[in-house]
Amino acid sequence: MKLFEQFLDILYPDNFSCIICGDDIFNENEYCVCAECKKDLPFISGKVCKKCGLPINSMANYCDRCQRNKHFFDKAIATFYYKDEIARCIKNLKFENCRYLAKYLAKFMADTLNANNIICDVIVPVPMHENRLRERGFNHSELLARHLSEIVNIPLDTKSLIKCVNTKTQVNLNFEQRQNNLLNSFKVLNINAIKGKNVLVVDDVFTTGSTMDNCAKALKGAGANKVFCISIAHTVIL
Ligand SMILES: [Zn+2]
Ligand SMILES: [Zn+2]
């Protein structure tokens, strides 16, 4: 892995060209995004739901969905809205094998984590079923989690939480179907690594929260103290 990353660093050196527009970057820039593009990124700002991180403009502390439904996780946060260039970056990371993007997206996630004052003991990526992993070749959430772990200096655990059922894709499923689809599909293998810990789960996109919820359910079942969730982007379903 280290050697592979060194190879990528040669292919895509830091501070070389903007990951959004491709223009040269002249100033020191750990995000690898030029000032023009950074200004246009769909950052989530303002008031958000205290539970799921969804932007809200009411007086309430929780969004409608969190007022109606219970979540297993304690708190979820995300940096961006899932749209525009960020949606394109995430698709490129997942489906076009642009693994180098994970490092820069993780930098944005680290800022969001720090801004929320979340203290955790261990970082756990949303796991992929072994069959899916074989098809895709890599787990994008694990790549993000690995970089995030390095940036914020919190240990990474990629072994304790596994996806034990190869569920069908969540795309085109509604909230309830997503919950049922993932039910009991995650499992904690190493309870001792999770018990009593504050765990941060990493994924690319938060849609209904059902993936995070099912991971949190397994982690809480293994005795996790608190489960926080971080994603690059939050889908706003209108
Ligand atoms: Zn740019
Ligand atoms: Zn909410």
- Residue-wise pLDDT tens digits, 226-237: 999 999 999 986
Higher-pLDDT residue of 5, 153: 153
- Ligand closest to CA 32: 1
Instruction: Give pLDDT, residue 176.
Output: 77
Buried/exposed 31-47: b ≥16 CB within 10 Å, e otherwise: bbbbeebeeebbebeee
Tell me the whole-structure pTM to 2 decimals. 0.90
- Ligand closest to CA 16: 1
Which of 132, 124, 119 is CA-nearest to residue 190? 124
- Average pLDDT in the chain: 90
List, in sequence order, every beta strand (DSSP E) within the chain.
Answer: 75-81, 122-125, 161-163, 186-188, 198-206, 226-234
- Ligand closest to CA 234: 2
Question: Which helix (DSSP H) or strand (DSSP E) does residue 95 occupy?
Answer: helix 84-95
Asked if residue 186 has pLDDT above 70, the reply is: yes
| Cα–ligand 1 centroid distance for 38 (angstroms) | 7
β-strands 226-234, 122-125: how paired?
A: unpaired
Distance separating the N- and C-terminal Cα atoms of the chain: 40
Contact indicator for 198, 55 with CB cutoff of 8 Å: no
Provide mean pLDDT across the span 149-160.
97
Q: How far apart are CA 25 and CA 168, in angstroms?
A: 41
- In order of 82, 161, 178, the CA distances from 236 in angstroms are 7, 27, 16
| Cα–ligand 1 centroid distance for 63 (angstroms) | 33
| Cα–ligand 2 centroid distance for 208 (angstroms) | 9
Backbone phi, psi, residue 43, to 5°:
-65, 140
Provide mean pLDDT across the span 52-76.
92
| Cα–ligand 1 centroid distance for 132 (angstroms) | 33
Instruction: Give pLDDT, residue 238.
Output: 57
| Cα–ligand 2 centroid distance for 131 (angstroms) | 32
Provide mean pLDDT across the span 59-66.
92
| Cα–ligand 2 centroid distance for 125 (angstroms) | 21
Higher-pLDDT residue of 12, 89: 89
Provide mean pLDDT across the span 79-83.
96
Instruction: Give pLDDT, residue 10.
Output: 56
* SS3 state of residue 128: coil
Q: How far apart are CA 22 and CA 16, in angstroms?
A: 9
| Cα–ligand 1 centroid distance for 31 (angstroms) | 11
| Cα–ligand 1 centroid distance for 85 (angstroms) | 10
Asked if residue 195 has pLDDT above 80, the reply is: yes
Higher-pLDDT residue of 165, 204: 204
Asked if residue 1 has pLDDT above 70, the reply is: no
Instruction: Give pLDDT, residue 50.
Output: 95
* Cα angle: 171, vertex 177, 178; to 5 degrees: 55
* Cα angle: 199, vertex 215, 166; to 5 degrees: 140
Q: How far apart are CA 162 and CA 188, in angstroms?
A: 6
Instruction: Give pLDDT, residue 6.
Output: 61
Q: Which domains does the chain have, with CATH numbers?
A: 8-40 (no CATH), 44-234 (3.40.50.2020)
- Ligand closest to CA 36: 1
- Ligand closest to CA 38: 1
β-strands 186-188, 161-163: how paired?
A: antiparallel
Instruction: Give pLDDT, residue 9.
Output: 57
